[in-house]
Amino acid sequence: MAQPQNTNSVSLHNNNKAIQDKKLKESLKMELNNLPPEEEEGNIEYKLKLINPTSSRLEHLVTQMKWRLQEGQGEAIYKIGVEDNGICSGLTDSELESTMNTLKSMSEKIGADLTTLRKREVNSEALGIRKQVAEILVRKVPDDQQFLDIRISVLGNADAGKSTLLGVLTHGEHDNGRGRARLNLFRHLHEIQSGRTSCISHEILGFDSKGNVINYSESRTAEEICSAASKIITFIDLAGHHKYLKTTIFGLTSHHPDFAVVVVSANRGVAGTTREHLGLAMALGVPIIAVVTKMDLCPTSVSDRACRQLEQLLTSAVCSKIPFRVRSEDDAYSAAAAMAGENNKVVPVFTVSSVTGKNLSLLTTFFNVLMPQKNVREQEKLMQKPAEFQVDEVFTVPEVGAVVGGTLYHGTLAEKDSLLIGPTTEGRYLPVRVTTIQRNRAPCRIVRAGQAASLSLDEVDKDDIRKGMVIVSERLEPSCCLRFEATAYLLYHPTSALSVGFQCTVHAGNVRQTAVVESIANEEESLRLNEQACITFRFVCSPEYIRTGSTLIFRERSTKGIGQVTKVMPFSSSDFCQPRHKHRRRFASSGSLSSPTSSSSNSDDSPTQSRPFSPKRQHLER
């Protein structure tokens, strides 16, 4: 008797999900009387019809198109046959053709390209005339940019097929079922041998002005893709194994992705680190896209079970998201439009196969029309501030010298700029000069706020540079700190409460360092599960550049918490000589802290440093 009940419950769940998907799809699609009124700001423009405009009217329309393109940072959506109040009146075939000719004339004047995304008939049976509404994509790369850029981090459990999926998307060849496509993404020999990503790697997918895919097929190089593409999707492939969780968190906090793709294997479902990765992306406020891979590896019943698990997780009280199953090209356009709004709860769900290529075209279509999350006015405000470049990676190039990779948080950077880099272990900032700049392996002359780039530096030695530093303008008058206060929320802790003296790894932007809890501002001087309090942290090794208002994640093994920096205490030389906290020895004996004399562990899941910094120790190490 148990089997029929289980079958009935599954069928009931399927019926409920089908009803929810239908309602959601109707709300997302371009239906009659369903569009909201047109907004003055943003990159979406409603036009009922544009038939034989006068020259003055045409100039006004061209100016309006420039404004919409500026609002969308190079992309705009025109909805034809729609009134300003959102009513879809529709156009006849002749009216639509005349309107499209006017749009082409407008786009030619400013050098933009048009792409018809979709057309839909409106309910005009009462009139006996066939009428349509159309959605047009207008794309033009801004004059001060080489291409439009969107960064997407890829998360998911180990062996979920993340690297294989990116290899298929960026190289245009299906996988052979044994992971051949992922070999192009691996950076180390042990990754090839184990088949698991252990570091952060980047791959790019380009689209031309017409929406055609430009990737590494036909023996193209990264430079050729960047020069031919008008839009670049930069994928940040992160590690899925729990052993490399620290690297994954660093990739999320330091690279500032616009979106996060959570990959789930159809044969295993929501397993391993999937929930943890999803929680990290939500905690950092990154919009989520879900992809279920390996659809060719299991029967339909198993893949449907994995999709149900994912949808139940997204609709749970913790996530409060609205999953939207993408089954057609029209669904892909609707999902991309739903992702454009702020505080959106829609999570597109794609079911793909890297071996057979099932639904991969829907995924590329979605990426083609996906709009950037940043508001153009906020972007302009960031560009007007002094330059601040966060260093994520340091390496040496022969005959070039020291090279750093990272993200420009605000301001602009150009070749030959003289800046400061720091803080050093003594809390100082060193003068430095930018010699050359590259973005996605292609040379460029200027970097703007929110863009990732690699900088070759002069007047500084590579040994003086480390991850977590910043390159800033002298006008910023940078400082650093060993101590800072943060409003922290404890997500999980294995014991009853987190107490003073606890040692953990703090992630804040590109900063990743071990810190000690010096004080907790409550009566118990402890923090229990799902509680919030003001905590004072102290870095163990060296001072760091921390901004007030930054989001931080602190963790140590299974302990996890999130918070926001509320106060930064400026660094002084006397901070080096601070005595150890009175609780340190007690917690070290109980296992919460490493002994000051013990050697630090090389495991990726352990704190990066285990001994407090002192000038004497620095002298001995030198």
Look up the CATH number of the domain holding residue 517. Answer: 2.40.30.10
Is 619 part of any domain? no
DSSP string, 456-495: EEESS-GGG--TT-EEE-GGG----EEEEEEEEEEEE-SS
**396 plus 271 within the same structural domain:** no
Asked whether residue 191 falls in the same domain as residue 321, the answer is: yes
From 416, 451, 476, give the residue that closes a domain.
Answer: 476
Q: Give the three-state DSSP class for 439.
A: strand
- How much is the pLDDT for 540? 94
Within a domain: residue 185? yes
d(CA 500, CA 586): 10
The 10 Å CB-count burial string (b at 16+, else e) for 65-84 is bbebbebbbbbbbbbbbbee
Query: What pLDDT sits at residue 200?
Result: 84
Contact indicator for 467, 394 with CB cutoff of 8 Å: yes
Q: Indicate whether 153 and 251 sit together in one domain.
A: yes
Domain boundary, last residue among 139, 159, 192: 139
Amino acid in the structure at residue 88 = C
CB-CB neighbours of 618 under 10 Å: 13
Interatomic CA distance for residues 195 and 250, integer angstroms: 21
By residue range, what is the domain housing residue 388? Answer: 382-476
Cis peptide before 423 (omega within 30 of 0): yes
Q: Rounded to 5 degrees, what are φ and ψ at 246? A: -60, -40
Helices (H) then strands (E): counts for the chain = 14, 29
Residue 486: HSE in the Cβ half-sphere, 13 Å Cα cutoff: 28
Do residues 420 and 363 share a domain? no
Could you tell me if residue 9 is inside a domain? Answer: no
Same domain, 411 and 429: yes
Q: Examine residue 231 and state whether it is found in any structural domain, yes or no.
A: yes
Task: Provide the CB-side half-sphere exposure for 92 (13 A, CA).
Answer: 6
Domain co-membership, 452 together with 430: yes
Residues 346 and 238 reside in one and the same domain? yes
Are residues 437 and 315 part of one domain?
Answer: no
Domain stop point among 139, 163, 198: 139
**Could you tell me if 192 and 338 lie in one domain?**
yes
- The share of the chain scoring above pLDDT 90, in percent, equals 54
CATH number of the domain residue 264 falls in: 3.40.50.300
What is the pLDDT, as a whole number, of residue 39?
87
Q: Does 4 map to a domain?
A: no
Please name the amino acid found at residue 546.
I
CB 118 within 8 A of CB 136: no
Same domain, 447 and 490: no
Amino acid 591: pLDDT: 39
Written as six digits, the tokens of 569 are 């205490």
Q: Point out the residues of the chain with pLDDT beneath 50.
A: 1-7, 9-10, 12-13, 29-33, 579-622
Distance CA 233, CA 151 (A): 6
Query: For residue 165, is it within any domain?
Result: yes
φ/ψ (deg, to 5) at 538? -135, 125
**CA gap 229, 232 in Å, rounded:** 7
What residues contact 310, with CB distance under 8 A and at least 6 apart? 264, 269, 270, 290, 292, 323, 349
Predicted structure pTM score: 0.82
Q: Is 18 a domain residue?
A: no
pLDDT at 602: 40
What does DSSP say about strands 503-508 and 511-520: parallel, antiparallel, or unpaired?
A: antiparallel
Q: Are 160 and 284 members of one domain?
A: yes
Residue 193: Cβ within 10 Å count: 9
Paired tokens of 240: 């899925």
- Sign, CA torsion 206/207/208/209: negative
CATH number at residue 85: 3.30.110
Query: Would 28 be classed as within a structural domain?
Result: no
Same domain flag for 437 and 464: yes
Place of tokens 């602190």: 554
CA distance 23 to 107: 36
Domain count, the chain: 4
Residues 47/78, Cβ–Cβ less than 8 Å: yes
Look-up of token digits 């003594």: 426
pLDDT of residue 343: 61
φ, ψ at 116 (rounded to 5°): -80, 115
pLDDT of residue 595: 35
